[in-house]
A = this chain, B = another copy of it.
Amino acid sequence: MARRSDHTREELTELALSSAEELLNIKPASELSTRQIATKMGYTVGTLYQIFKNLPDLLLHVNARTLKRLYNDCLKLDIKQHSAEQNILAYANLYLEFAHSHQGLWTLIFDNKVLGDEELPDWYLMQVKALFSLIEQQLRQIKPRSSEQEITQISRVLWSSVHGICTLSINNNLFVQSACSSQELIASLIRNILKGWTNG
């Protein structure tokens, strides 16, 4: 045993993260374990603790990759062809679509297990900020005169709401028997918030 050097530290990191991601496609985060990830990598648990501080730390890095992917998906949208409101709707639909097609990864972003008791590191918060700035950019086009504080506030309101609908539509426990699709809900939401905002 010892010093296999089959992989560099970077390769090992990549291997760990992609192994975790693959497992999350099959099972929920609550059933994910360090031993399973290590086995999928072809290593033992101990190796994982050379790369990451602990399991929450590993999962935080999985989340960082998910945010990056989400951001890149957003950049691929053809923004210039449409109105700001249409673009915001497009972002929201992309978000909803992503949440549904990558349930495991998406749910993990908001899993309390990841955060633990520690604060989120700066490099992670920067990624969150980058995503918000996409929405803020569109909001500024709608109402160019509004203050930065107002833009921040509305972007948070909008996004929290979209997020809330995604959450509840995924573990579809809270819509009871209602027939309304989450797409319709989001469309209605954005229309109403923006209408209320611009008429204010």
The residue on B at minimum CB distance from A111 is B112
A125 near B176: Cβ-Cβ < 8 Å: yes
B191 near A196: Cβ-Cβ < 8 Å: yes
A101 at the B interface (CB under 8 A)? no
**Interface SS, A side:** helix
Residue of A29, A161, A175, A180 contacting most chain B CB atoms (<10 Å): A161
Per the bound structure, the CA–CA distance linking A177 and B132 in Å amounts to 12
Distance between A150 CB and nearest chain B CB, rounded to angstroms: 9
A171 at the B interface (CB under 8 A)? yes
Distance between A24 CB and nearest chain B CB, rounded to angstroms: 12
- Chain A residues 158-200 with CB under 8 Å of chain B are 159-165, 167-168, 171, 173-180, 184-185, 188-189, 191-197, 199-200
Please tell me which one of the listed residues B113, B132, B157 contacts residue A165 in the complex, with CB atoms under 8 A apart.
B157
Interface residues, chain A, with chain B CB atoms under 8 Å away: 28-30, 107, 110-113, 115, 120, 125, 128-129, 132, 149, 152-154, 156-157, 159-165, 167-168, 171, 173-180, 184-185, 188-189, 191-197, 199-200
